[in-house]
Amino acid sequence: MLKEKVAQLLNEQINKEFYSAYLYLYFSNYYTEKGLNGFANWYKIQAQEERDHAMLIMQYMQNNDATVTLEAIEKPEMDLKENIDALKAGLEHEHYVTSLINNIYDAAYTEKDFRTMQFLDWFVKEQGEEETNASDLVRKMELFGTDPKSLYLLDQEMASRVYTAPSLVL
């Protein structure tokens, strides 16, 4: 049985992960409107990953007889003016999500909830990868984004990303 504080934080994280998916769909739409379909693809896949994260947490809670409460998902509100704006916002958002995961981990540690800590180990590692990917995108856009030919090649690179489902065993 999950402790109340840990279950509450996991429930909140489900909503945050769905918001992340919504935010990344917002970014995908922005890039589609700009004609950067590779970046749009990259963020569509990112949105799917975030949805999967929410579903994994939900399944973990259900497997541990915890009540899952789904809340409304907030609408992303951002004024994206430059191609790099969504990338920078994505990196900032990944830092935020990392802090949320760390907070849940800390609560599980405090409660001596070792099963949840073990479950969260995958998310801790995943957030390291998410931050690296987001940081790399910002760096590439800073280096190449102002040159149309380089931006075209970068967009093609983003178009090559394919979805792979997480391999976390619950």
Which pLDDT score, from 0 to 100, does residue 151 have? 95
Q: How confident is the model at residue 164 (pLDDT cuts 50, 70, 90)?
A: confident
Residue 169 has pLDDT above 70, yes or no: no
Q: What is the mean pLDDT of residues 55-84?
A: 95
Q: What is the mean pLDDT of residues 83-111?
A: 98
CA-to-CA distance for 105 and 98, rounded, in angstroms? 10
Q: Answer positive or negative: Cα dihedral of 148, 149, 154, 159.
A: positive
Residue 168 has pLDDT above 80, yes or no: no
Structural contact between residues 166 and 56, judged by C-beta atoms closer than 8 angstroms: yes
CA dist list (Å): 99 to 23, 62, 93, 102: 17, 24, 10, 5
CA-to-CA distance for 54 and 11, rounded, in angstroms? 9
**Integer-rounded Cα radius of gyration of the chain:** 17
For the chain, list the domains and their CATH numbers: 4-159 (1.20.1260.10)
Residue 167 has pLDDT above 90, yes or no: no
Q: Which residue has the higher pLDDT, 166 or 37?
A: 37
